[in-house]
Chain A
Amino acid sequence: MFESVEEVQRRFGDARYIASRRIATVVFLAARMGRPVLVEGPAGVGKTELAKTLSEVTGRRLIRLQCYEGLDEGKALYEWKYAKQLLYTQLLRERIGELIADAPSLPDAVAKIAGQEDAFFSFRFLSPRPLLSAILAEEPVVLLVDEIDKAEPEFEAFLLEVLSDFQVSVPELGTVRAKHIPLVVLTSNNARELSDGLKRRCLHLFIDFPVPADELAIIRLKVPEIPEKLAAAVVSAVQKIRAMDLRKLPSVSESLDWARSLVILNAQALSPELVESTLTMLVKHEKDLERVKGALDKVLTE
């Protein structure tokens, strides 16, 4: 898939994703070793984007499993289309009646129906959820398990099992094994501690806020119409705000939003008034806002 770390970096760059050397190395290893990658880091630094770009670069379909509290195996793996099964049995009531009409006794009738079980427990009545889709896929895919920390530890244990063998067993149908090992990316915002087993299984990648040079590159790439000097000013201001003690630090997606809004306002340089009026794009908490406004002169010094 990739021949070298440099190739990863280049191809991600072509797909408009600035991958640091560290990111590229881990992606390269994951592709080579067929291992899942666990990506951690603050919100909005491009964890999910990494998986999307990976799917774009490799030309593989992206299957996304969004985790949330209460997610269970049924919603992640497969569900029987219970209502459809019932509907079919209702519609076919007469056929079933005919089938067992000549059965001399109740056990015989049961045996006859049991002989037809396959008709009702087949893939026709199975609705595959993301995990099963990834395993059933005819072509290699990228599987994104987003915000795994939002799901319960119990689900995590189950996921671990799937990720180590890439096979699941559906009791009525037997074991299904993946034709191709999918590239798996798991993301976590560290809302809780993940289990050791899962961590052991995965390659670990921590994406932090980018260094100024990378952030500048990202802004210029994603907001090409921004004047060069303004972009530099934005980066320097954002970096300074990140050094402050805030409840929620602005991340890359927020600095991009800010840069875009500045472009829309046709700004050429950052003035205190302009920053004050657009600051909500960057800082989302009331208290943080006050604090940044109080230190505006510091934020704006070059």
Chain B
Amino acid sequence: MRISPSEALDALAAASEVGLVDRETFKTTLAATLIKEFRDRPTFDRLFDLYFLDLEALGQGLQKALGPADPRVQDMLDRMLAEEGMELDDLTELLMRGGGSEIEMAIRASGQNAGLERLMYFLQVGFFSRRISDRFDWSSIEADVERLMRLLETRGLDPGQLARVRNYLELRLEAFKRMIRQHVERELERRAYRQGEKLTREVLSEKPLFALTADEIAQMKAVVARLARKIKDALALRQRQEQRGRIDTRRTTRRSLQYDGVPMEIFLKRRHREKPKLVTVCDVSDSVRNASRFMLQLVWSLQECFSRVRSYVFVSEIAEVTQAFNTYPVERAIEWALKGAPVDYHCRSDFGYAFSRFAKTELDALDRKTTILVLGDARNNYNDPQAWALRLIRERVKGIIWLNPEGQWGWGIGDSVMPLYAPACDFVRECRTIAQLGEVVDNLVHRWWRRGR
């Protein structure tokens, strides 16, 4: 979550308006000033609970951990202490009477300078619990308890009652120690949460597209959808700017004749607006299956954003899938393109054949406004690359962009014919990770279509 200093200041100002009395109100206040995306809300909720412990709820929970309060024992102790005027250690006092939240506060206070910032692994929990626990003066508590018990004895309590009192105090003492450990564990969660989160995001966005699990695919999808949105917004802005222009003197003058030569209505020249035409050609052979899943997601999003997109998939035979991508929701469209499209999925990928077929059948549909986006690894299984077909296509269009899901080091090695195709392309990029895909998409929007106005 990105939070700017001004938002942090807002949060402080807002918090001082509502105060800290009501936990929910405070939480809403922080959320309203800091969290501006709905999707961040669950993360915020978790973080809030970690940082702002619900002492009241915790206290109630701890009260239970302390064992059922025994009002009769408590009463008796109270009375006796008052009569004898016996001074107890603060800690003993807390132990006997304190509610859960007070005890938690005491633990926290002594944990403050126990070096918890070095807490990173679960194995350290024992060490730090001991460290905090050592800060309490257990011997004086024990001495107090012993004194109490002796006192009770002299006052003639029967052994059964004595045992009950001792049991009560010991239970509380034990619970207290348990609470220390719980405190450290919570602290660990709080720290680890942050690091864990950072780690997954970094690793994920640098991970090659073909090595993703189903769960990660779901996360990636969200990222691609966001990128698509970006394109949409950027294009909307550009189209908007293009709608304005200088005064169209011809039309304005012509209309002014109606008003005795006075230019009552003004017409603006419309700047030429180029609607991007996009043709995507996506390799869906088995070798790049996971990568093409993302590429197809991209294709689908592009088709949603741009009005004139035509999409093709190929293994060796090439087929148009525009219609299906327009009608199916994204999931189904991708499944369909990977399984049900009218191409033979069982043969080996053959870029040369696909391009030559494409050049034969679709060349007439291409024009100078068309950009071709090829998504594939250019691993041609030693078939004839037929690079001439790509060159022929290039002559008819505005440009060819090639995104390769394979690392650049592999281009030209083995059956990769990337170097043969590259000269015909205007823009060749390695697109292995989601981070790279993001970069490419930005480039597409900001450089490619802007350049050729």
Binding site for B on A (CB under 8 A): 5, 21-22, 25-26, 28-29, 32-33, 35, 38, 40, 70, 82-83, 86, 90, 152-154, 190, 192-193, 196, 199-200, 202-206
Contact = CB atoms under 8 A, between A and B. Distances in A.
Given A200-B4, A200-B7, A40 B233 contact: no
Given A35-B10, A90-B262, A204-B31, A29 B17 contact: yes
Contacts of A32: 14, 17
B25 A25 contact: yes
A153 B237 contact: yes
A28 B237 contact: no
Given A29-B14, A29-B18, A32-B17, A200 B236 contact: no
B17 A28 contact: yes
Which A-B residue pairs are the 9 nearest by beta carbons? A199-B36, A25-B28, A203-B32, A204-B36, A26-B32, A32-B17, A22-B28, A152-B240, A29-B14
B6 A29 contact: no
Interface string B1-13: 0101011001001
A205 B240 contact: no
A196 B40 CA distance: 14
Given A25-B25, A29-B29, A192-B233, A200 B17 contact: no
Interface of B: 2, 4, 6-7, 10, 13-14, 17-18, 22, 24-25, 28-29, 31-33, 35-38, 41, 226, 229-230, 232-233, 236-237, 240-241, 262-264, 266
A152 B41 contact: no
B32 A86 contact: no
A41 to B, nearest CB: 8
Q: Most chain-A Cβ atoms within 10 A of its Cβ — which of B22, B226, B266?
A: B22
Contacts of A204: 31-33, 35-36
B106 to A, nearest CB: 32
A207 to B, nearest CB: 10
Given A193-B233, A200-B7, A25 B264 contact: no
A192 B17 contact: no
B32 A205 contact: yes
Contacts of B41: 206
Contacts of B240: 70, 152, 154
Given A25-B29, A152-B237, A154-B240, 5 more contacts: A5-B18, A86-B264, A152-B236, A193-B226, A203-B33
Contacts of A82: 264, 266
Nearest to A152: B240
B33 to A, nearest CB: 6
B237 A154 contact: yes
Nearest to B244: A72
A93 B27 CA distance: 67
Contact of A200 (B36, B232, B264): B36
A190 B38 CA distance: 10
Contacts, number: 78
A190 B39 CA distance: 12
Contacts of B229: 192-193
Contacts of B10: 33, 35, 203
B8 to A, nearest CB: 11
A202 B7 CA distance: 9
A33 B233 contact: no
Contacts of A28: 17-18
Judged by DSSP, the binding face of B is helix
Contact of B18 (A22, A25, A205): A25
A86 B28 CA distance: 54
B233 A153 contact: yes
21 contacts: A21-B28, A25-B18, A26-B32, A28-B17, A29-B14, A29-B18, A29-B32, A33-B10, A40-B38, A86-B263, A86-B264, A90-B262, A154-B237, A192-B232, A193-B229, A199-B36, A199-B37, A200-B7, A203-B14, A204-B33, A205-B32
B274 to A, nearest CB: 18
Contacts of B22: 5
A153 B236 contact: yes
Nearest to B230: A193
Nearest to A190: B38
Nearest to A208: B38
A70 B239 CA distance: 10
B243 to A, nearest CB: 8
A33 B28 contact: no
A40 B40 CA distance: 14
A35 B29 CA distance: 13
Contacts of A83: 264
Contacts of B241: 154
A156 to B, nearest CB: 10
A86 B33 contact: no
Contacts of A199: 36-37
Contacts of B28: 21-22, 25-26
A40 B229 CA distance: 18
Contact of B25 (A5, A193, A196, A206): A5
Contacts of B237: 152-154
A204 B22 CA distance: 19
B43 to A, nearest CB: 14
B262 to A, nearest CB: 6
Nearest to A90: B262
B46 to A, nearest CB: 17
B17 to A, nearest CB: 5
B257 to A, nearest CB: 15
A200 B25 contact: no
A209 to B, nearest CB: 13
A23 B240 CA distance: 35
A251 to B, nearest CB: 16
A25 B4 CA distance: 22
Q: Most chain-A Cβ atoms within 10 A of its Cβ — which of B10, B36, B38, B233?
A: B36
A231 to B, nearest CB: 27
Nearest to A203: B32
Contacts of A22: 24, 28
A196 B41 CA distance: 16
A21 B18 CA distance: 13
Contacts of A196: 2, 36
Contacts of B2: 196
